[in-house]
Structure 1
Amino acid sequence: MSMSTFAGTAEHYRKYRPGIPRDVAEILAAAVLGRHPRRLLDIGTGTGLVVEALLTRFDDIIAIDTDADMLTSAEAAVRAKVPKNTRMTLQCCSAEEFTPPEDWHADLVTICRAFHWLDQATVLERLATQVAPDGAVVIFGDNSFWAAGSPWEDAVRAVILDFFLGERRRAGTGIFSHHDRPYSEIMQESQFCQVEELRVPVRRLWSTETILGYLYSTSFAAPHLFGDRLADFEVAIARTLAEFSDNDVFPEENEFLIRIGRRRGSGLPAFDSVR
């Protein structure tokens, strides 16, 4: 992932990206054994949404990202909330280059909304030496507006495509490259080959303001991509959304797809109640 992919989005990302629901945080925390110290590695942490959701569940946390502005936002938002006996380290580096401290092994690795940006096979191979023998790697996320399919979300996507004069999704200054293979299949080719999938439904209510804020947090609609047409884009979005609501409320049905990968024979907790 280029460091410029999310250039200028940190402020919007922290304010408008949905956080991690409590049900999802509970699944993440229950995916590994409780012990002390309990270590978390969060890859592609962005503004620290995953770390914030798990602060009371782990006492030794390393969160990495390639975007220094994102990490600055995470520091400002999360540091004051860190419990007294918890250590949180924010590090600016890529997952492909990250090396943990000597004798440090993660009990849980979380990759939220970021696996598509990574050299996936390389990262999973490196994690094999960075994760405790009974630890887990969890790759998870919800659907972005680009992938969602409600009528108003389809209309918003059409406006974005119209402004960029094409059918291809932007990714910063480049073009987004889709991954055709399911993440679980990729995980099954790594040491974390024992994979369980869980789905947690999420319902959200959006407004024109929060929709624009969310869009400005993405690689495909970051403010700088519009140049001097940003004001025109905001007018077009507001006009389009007005066709779908009289009270500026836009419901969204979404879900988190959670993939928990472990080494073969390490055992699996039961999550039947949330399937």
Structure 2
Amino acid sequence: MSLFTGTASYYSRFRPGIPEDVAAALDRAAPTRTRSPRRLLDVGTGTGLVTRALLGRFDDIIAIDNDADMLDAAEFALRPRLPEGTRLSLVESTAEEFVPPTEWKADLVTICRAFHWLDQAAVLARLDDQVASDGVIAIFSDSSFWTATSPWKEAVRDVIKAFLGEERRAGSGTFRHHKRPYSEIMEESPFHQVEEARIPVHRTWTTETILGYLYSTSFAVPRLFGDRLQEFETAVKERLAGFSEDDTFPEENEFLIRFGRRSRR
């Protein structure tokens, strides 16, 4: 069972997408837009949020995920939006096992909100054969509710802990945090020239979108609550009511992007 089994519908509706400023930064980092075909490999695509943000900037796209339901949702979201002449392949595979078509080399590899699930050193080594000589990898994410520090998010996290325990869940298990900064891991890989970019993002949530987001995560997937799901929802609503009179909850977040390149030869 995937860590995200049962989350695809929530992921499609409630996971925040990729802001235009982030998409533009990814586009600028990749080799020139005059190249054709310009190839994107999106690792851990989920429902295709990164691919969707980059449509029109790449014309040969492979998006991979190991969850068939997520890929079905990505197909539904992306296929009708494909610009003319764009090729999209959705592949059910782990990053550790993916093999691209012969001679296919990515100009940009994106790994968004997924690097912590991977065998990081192994995937980075494997990408060395899958990326063009001047290609770029981009590992990036914003902060999840679990690590947030705003009072209303802390209150929501407290409710989750009251129902599921103090340790962050990861499906039927618990989450094991990677303590080393991603930049250090990348610096030990073929893509050892690392640059960082930080892009702020402001969002406004409602109780409905907060609950929907939670149900899209591995730490609050609905099946974890069993027959207490409705009780959990009621508890979240009661806690949130103390932070807003109009059911709006502002969030200041940030995308941290780490770009990795090989040494110039």
Q: Confirm or deny a common fold (TM above 0.5).
A: yes
Residue type at the aligned position of 1:216: Y
Partner of 2:214: 215
Q: Identify the match of residue 9 of structure 2 among 8, 11, 15.
A: 11
- Partner Cα separation in structure 2 for residue 157 and residue 194 of structure 1: 36
- Partner Cα separation in structure 2 for residue 56 and residue 49 of structure 1: 14
- Partner Cα separation in structure 2 for residue 259 and residue 229 of structure 1: 39
Partner of 1:203: 202
Partner SS, residue 149 of structure 2? coil
Residue type at the aligned position of 1:27: A
Residue type at the aligned position of 1:24: V
Tell me whether 1:104 sits opposite 2:104 in the alignment. yes
Tell me whether 1:61 sits opposite 2:61 in the alignment. yes
- Partner Cα separation in structure 2 for residue 172 and residue 221 of structure 1: 8
- How many equivalent residue pairs? 263
- Partner Cα separation in structure 1 for residue 248 and residue 264 of structure 2: 48
TM-score scaled by length of structure 2 = 0.98
- Partner Cα separation in structure 1 for residue 42 and residue 139 of structure 2: 10
Residue type at the aligned position of 1:46: G
Partner of 1:188: 187
Tell me whether 1:118 sits opposite 2:129 in the alignment. no
- Percentage identity across paired residues of the two chains: 67
Residue type at the aligned position of 1:116: H
Partner of 1:271: none
* 29-38 vs 106-115, which moves further: 29-38
Partner SS, residue 146 of structure 1? helix
Residue type at the aligned position of 2:84: K
Partner SS, residue 234 of structure 1? helix
Residue type at the aligned position of 1:91: V
Tell me whether 1:141 sits opposite 2:135 in the alignment. no
- Partner Cα separation in structure 1 for residue 110 and residue 246 of structure 2: 37
Q: CA RMSD in A?
A: 0.7
Per-residue deviation at 1:265?
2.5
Partner of 1:273: none
- Deviations 1:84-108 (Å, cap 9, x if unpaired)? 1000000000000000000000000
Partner SS, residue 252 of structure 1? strand
Per-residue deviation at 1:134?
0.2
Per-residue deviation at 1:176?
0.5
- Deviations 1:42-66 (Å, cap 9, x if unpaired)? 0000000000000100000000000
- Partner Cα separation in structure 2 for residue 255 and residue 264 of structure 1: 28
- Partner Cα separation in structure 2 for residue 181 and residue 254 of structure 1: 22
Partner of 2:251: 252
Partner of 1:46: 46
Residue type at the aligned position of 1:138: A
- Partner Cα separation in structure 2 for residue 145 and residue 41 of structure 1: 27
Per-residue deviation at 1:142?
0.2
- Partner Cα separation in structure 2 for residue 97 and residue 134 of structure 1: 23
Partner SS, residue 61 of structure 1? strand
- Partner Cα separation in structure 1 for residue 157 and residue 264 of structure 2: 44
TM-score scaled by length of structure 1 = 0.95
- Deviations 1:131-158 (Å, cap 9, x if unpaired)? 0000000000100000110000000000
Per-residue deviation at 1:4?
2.0
Residue type at the aligned position of 2:252: E
* 30-39 vs 149-158, which moves further: 30-39
Partner of 2:236: 237
